[in-house]
């Protein structure tokens, strides 16, 4: 009898193991399938902005993915954010230490002509905004302007102290004909439990390699980039502070929309009003809508399971039609110089 019992137990254990393996395989297949369910950007109904025949005197912006933006007036360049190294999905999920991709940073700075950088200004200190600011600063003479956390990211990369400026909120910093102002804002509450993900500060020089969780938010800003030709607001994350921009008039808003869909349409409407309606902007470019685990230059929407930009774009168009009928809602074209204030630029 005991012999039979042992055989039974073995058979039972084998069957259970087979069922578990089968279930795991099914789960993996489901997860893979869900990961590949992505909306197509052309379905957003938004049209890419294309600028032909730029006058030399135009103030331009080049969108380099997420909310990395290169402003240029032909003499001075301002870079908002620095995110060229793209930790992979696996590195993001496992917390494997990552470091800056030096060859890629060299390529990007050369390819997009970043040779007159005066300032590098991260919207906040998460890795997808500030990971490469130190590496870029070290390849230029630009000042890094941001929070104390941003300063510690720069210090960890060995950026000389005289290139690091901890910004006084609301103070206007002049770089050539540009004026840059950091207005305290808040990060979007897009964590799983409605919290700000990776909140907190970077309190020590951030030495690399480090897991992506080492880049803490460190406070978020609305970045106001002003020029005699016009004013642009960059909002890296879809957070807003009621009334914070009441005294700001803008022509263009670069509107961070990552995970805006998870916050609901009502939130999206309040966000729009705080950034666009209150500032009178006539052109809005959504940014930070693509899958940030893809290599630099690959613009692919995230899995619908995580974020659906097509639905967000539908909301934004309806909200625009309600509040700001004459405001244009446009897609930025990756890596292309766009004239920010075409009506202002004197002919070359
Ligand atoms: Zn963030």
Q: How does pLDDT run along the chain (348 residues), one tens digit per residue? A: 566 688 888 999 999 999 999 999 999 999 899 888 999 999 999 988 777 778 888 999 999 999 999 999 999 999 999 999 999 999 999 999 999 999 999 999 999 999 999 999 999 999 999 999 999 999 999 999 999 999 999 999 999 999 999 999 999 999 999 999 999 999 999 998 999 999 999 999 999 999 999 999 999 999 999 999 999 999 999 999 999 999 999 999 999 999 999 999 999 999 999 999 999 999 999 999 999 999 999 999 999 989 999 999 999 999 999 999 999 999 999 999 999 998 775 554
Contact 326, 59 (CB under 8 A): no
Which one, of 260, 254, 252, lies nearest residue 234 by Cα?
A: 254
Compute the distance from residue 78 Cα to the ligand 1 centre, in Å: 20
Sheet hosting strand 60-63, strand order edge to edge: 164-166, 143-146, 117-121, 77-80, 69-72, 60-63, 337-339
Compute the distance from residue 127 Cα to the ligand 1 centre, in Å: 8
Compute the distance from residue 187 Cα to the ligand 1 centre, in Å: 7
Identify the pLDDT of residue 120: 98
Compute the distance from residue 53 Cα to the ligand 1 centre, in Å: 35
Identify the pLDDT of residue 2: 63
Compute the distance from residue 9 Cα to the ligand 1 centre, in Å: 52
Compute the distance from residue 291 Cα to the ligand 1 centre, in Å: 14
Compute the distance from residue 217 Cα to the ligand 1 centre, in Å: 6
Identify the pLDDT of residue 46: 92
Contact 238, 319 (CB under 8 A): no
ω before 34 within 30° of 0 (cis)?
no
d(CA 54, CA 342): 9
pTM, to two decimals: 0.92
Sheet hosting strand 172-175, strand order edge to edge: 47-48, 328-331, 283-287, 252-256, 230-235, 220-227, 178-185, 172-175
Identify the pLDDT of residue 1: 54
d(CA 23, CA 179): 58
Identify the pLDDT of residue 51: 74
d(CA 187, CA 179): 23
Compute the distance from residue 126 Cα to the ligand 1 centre, in Å: 5
What residues have a C-beta under 5 A from ligand 1, the ion? 126, 237
d(CA 251, CA 232): 6
Compute the distance from residue 128 Cα to the ligand 1 centre, in Å: 7
């Amino acid at each position: 009898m005991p012999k039979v019992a042992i055989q039974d137990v073995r058979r039972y254990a084998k069957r259970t193991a087979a069922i578990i393996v089968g279930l795991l395989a099914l789960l993996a297949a489901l997860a893979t399938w869900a990961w590949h369910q992505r909306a197509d950007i052309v379905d957003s109904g938004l049209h890419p902005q294309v600028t032909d025949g730029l006058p030399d005197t135009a103030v331009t912006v080049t969108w380099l993915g997420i909310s990395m933006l290169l402003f240029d007036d032909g003499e001075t360049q301002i870079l908002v954010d620095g995110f060229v190294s793209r930790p992979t999905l696996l590195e993001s999920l496992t917390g494997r230490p990552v470091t800056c991709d030096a060859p890629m940073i060299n390529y990007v700075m050369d390819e997009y002509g970043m040779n007159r950088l005066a300032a590098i200004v991260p919207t906040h200190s998460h890795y997808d905004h500030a990971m490469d600011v130190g590496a870029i600063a070290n390849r230029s003479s630009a000042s890094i302007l941001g929070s104390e956390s941003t300063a510690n990211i720069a210090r960890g990369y060995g950026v000389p102290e005289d290139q690091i400026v901890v910004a006084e909120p609301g103070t206007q910093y002049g770089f050539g004909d540009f004026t840059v102002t950091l207005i305290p804002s808040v990060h979007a509450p897009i964590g799983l439990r409605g919290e700000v993900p990776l909140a907190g500060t970077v309190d020590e020089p951030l030495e690399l390699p480090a897991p992506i969780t080492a880049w803490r938010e460190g406070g978020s800003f609305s970045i106001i980039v002003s020029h005699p030709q016009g004013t642009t607001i960059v909002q890296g994350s879809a957070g807003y502070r009621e009334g914070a921009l009441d005294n700001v008039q803008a022509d263009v808003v670069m509107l961070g929309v990552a995970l805006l869909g998870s916050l609901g349409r009502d939130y999206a409407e309040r966000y729009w009003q705080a950034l666009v309606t209150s500032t009178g902007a006539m052109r809005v470019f959504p940014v930070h809508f693509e899958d940030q685990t893809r290599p630099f230059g690959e613009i692919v929407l995230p899995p619908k399971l995580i974020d659906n930009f097509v639905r967000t774009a539908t909301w934004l168009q309806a909200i625009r039609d309600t509040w700001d009928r004459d405001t244009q809602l446009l897609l930025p074209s990756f890596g292309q110089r766009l004239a920010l204030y075409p009506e202002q630029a004197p002919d070359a």
